[in-house]
Amino acid sequence: MQDFKFHIQAPVYFGHGTVKKQADLIASYGKRALLVTTKFPQGVVNQALEDVISVLNDKGIEYRVFDETEENPSVECCVRIATLAAEFKPDFFVGIGGGSSMDASKCASLLLENHITDDDAAYELLWKNPPRDAWRRPYKCTPVICVPTTAGSSSEITGFYVISRKDTNSKDTPPVIIFAEAALLDPAYIKTAPQFVLDTGAMDALSHGIETSLNVNSNFMNRQVAMIGFGLFKKFKDHLLSGELTDEDFDNIMLHSSIMGMAFYQAGTLLPHGLSYYLSHDKGLNHGLACSITQGEFLRAVPDQSLVTPILEACGFKDIDDCCDYFREIVGRNVHISVTEEECDAWAAHFMKYQAHRLDRFPGHMDEAGLAGIFKRSLKSYM
Ligand SMILES: [Fe+2]
């Protein structure tokens, strides 16, 4: 067997009512907590936040709530959280929400550790002068507990966090690995999510699994873990499409996301994630849907289809056409954009200039014309 590294760190507590069941664990992190979340629409209860607050009150833990986390949190937003943290001096953070809240908590914890409360110093630390070797091994800072309320990004599992940066007008992962101290997964929190949120989260997680399985840098372990994820996807995929999800489906959707996080953290993603950035940036598409748009045509472009077949089978697709139809249906009901052939050509050219490193992980040859072709075939109905 090939040498490999397999790194997961956060203990996962999965189950209904897990936040309250882990009250002692939460209390073990100290007497002051900063809760990082997003504002919910009027009339919608943030049940995860309510549960965390209930535990903190029971345990006599003082807390503050920052509920202004942006979608795709910016450096500036993380600095605001870190500034609040510098005043409040929390013993731990709790990131409650989707990837944005969890990512912002991790980044704010890093900034707090380094006493940073201004934007320029934050850019300097995150990208220009990060702590030495912090991309090799986890960086220790104020503990972050993650309570996801969506299933897709798996920030609760990985050492990554994606932050929007103004200096390059892009989203980026700082080269400083930060893991959650604990991931508290309660499938009840995703039960009230709109179909759109479930669709995009599930497509993001599935994309993580597919892309990392085909990544030449992957290994026996993370491919096997992704297989567990595909098996969960197979169980809920038809119900996700029809919108008739059962309690068991919600369990599987929640776990599918975290498991794919364990798989993709080891080797990273491939072409569809790279291609998705153009659709997100130029067309405003949500991340998971943007990744899934090119997924079917990406799979067709893998020269050795014997690598693809086991993935399709594990997911419960009859063949590649069945798989492409599935992605097309999920995307079709959520995505309403228009695209030109020229845009596809420009995106492919940009990819070759700035994301060519992703081609090294692809199991075969791929060039600019090939990438443009994937875009054009995937986006045919939007032209
Ligand atoms: Fe993703």
Residue 142: per-residue pLDDT:
97
**What strands lie across the sheet with 32-36, from one edge to the other?**
12-14, 182-185, 144-148, 92-97, 32-36, 62-66
Predicted pLDDT of residue 380: 95
Q: How confident is the model at residue 170 (pLDDT cuts 50, 70, 90)?
A: confident
CA of 59 to the centre of ligand 1 (A): 36
Taking only the tens place, the pLDDT of each residue in 4-28 is: 999 999 999 999 999 999 999 999 9
Q: Is pLDDT above 90 for 84?
A: yes
pLDDT of residue 282: 92
Distance 202 CA to ligand 1 centre (A): 10
Residue 288 Cα, ligand 1 centroid: separation in angstroms? 6
Q: What is the DSSP string of 187-230?
A: GGGGTTS-HHHHHHHHHHHHHHHHHHHH-TT--HHHHHHHHHHH
Distance 205 CA to ligand 1 centre (A): 7
Tokens of 109: 């914890």
Q: What is the mean pLDDT of residues 268-280?
A: 94
CA–CA separation, 171 vs 185, rounded Å? 26
Tell me, what's the pLDDT at 41? 82
Q: How far apart are the first and last CA of the chain?
A: 46
- Give residue 271's pLDDT: 96
Q: Taking the CA atoms of the chain, what radius of gyration do you get in angstroms?
A: 20
Q: Are 20 and 69 in contact (CB under 8 A)?
A: no
Q: How confident is the model at residue 44 (pLDDT cuts 50, 70, 90)?
A: confident
Ligand 1 centre to CA of 63 (Å) is 31
Of residues 288, 299, 282, the one with CA closest to residue 347: 282
Token reading at 379 = 């986006």
The pLDDT of 104-113, averaged and rounded, is 98
More confident residue, 86 or 2: 86
**How far does residue 317's CA lie from ligand 1's centre (Å)?**
21
pLDDT given at position 172: 87
pTM here?
A: 0.95
Distance 261 CA to ligand 1 centre (A): 9
Which pLDDT band, with edges at 50, 70 and 90, does 124 fall under?
very high
What does the pLDDT average to over 181-198?
Answer: 96
Cα 356 to Cα 105: distance, rounded to the nearest angstrom: 31
Structure-model confidence comparison of residues 169 and 254, the more confident one: 254
* Amino acid 154: pLDDT: 95
State both tokens at 187. 């499938």
Please give the distance, rounded to the nearest whole angstrom, from the Cα atom of residue 285 to the centre of ligand 1.
13
Write out pLDDT tens, residues 302-325. Answer: 999 999 999 999 999 999 999 999
Whole-number Å distance, alpha carbon 127 to ligand 1 midpoint, is 21
Model confidence over 344-368: pLDDT tens digits?
999 999 999 988 989 999 999 999 9
Please give the pLDDT value at position 169: 82
Domains along the sequence of the chain with CATH? 12-190 (3.40.50.1970), 195-382 (1.20.1090.10)
Q: How confident is the model at residue 42 (pLDDT cuts 50, 70, 90)?
A: confident
Task: Report CA(62)–ligand 1 centroid distance (Å).
Answer: 34
Q: How far is the centre of ligand 1, averaged over its atoms, from the C-alpha of 153 (Å)?
A: 6
Pick from 186, 202, 117: nearest CA to 145:
186
The pLDDT mean for the chain works out to 96
Cβ atoms of residues 363 and 210 within 8 Å: no
pLDDT value at residue 251: 98
Measure 28 CA to ligand 1 centroid, in angstroms. 32
Mean pLDDT computed over 328-357: 95
Distance 99 CA to ligand 1 centre (A): 10
Dist. CA 109 → ligand 1 center (Å): 22
Residue 312 Cα, ligand 1 centroid: separation in angstroms? 19
Distance 289 CA to ligand 1 centre (A): 10
What is the predicted pLDDT for the residue at 332? 96
Asked whether the predicted pLDDT for residue 171 surpasses 90, the reply is no
Model confidence pLDDT, tens digit, residues 258-272: 999 999 999 999 999
Distance 58 CA to ligand 1 centre (A): 36
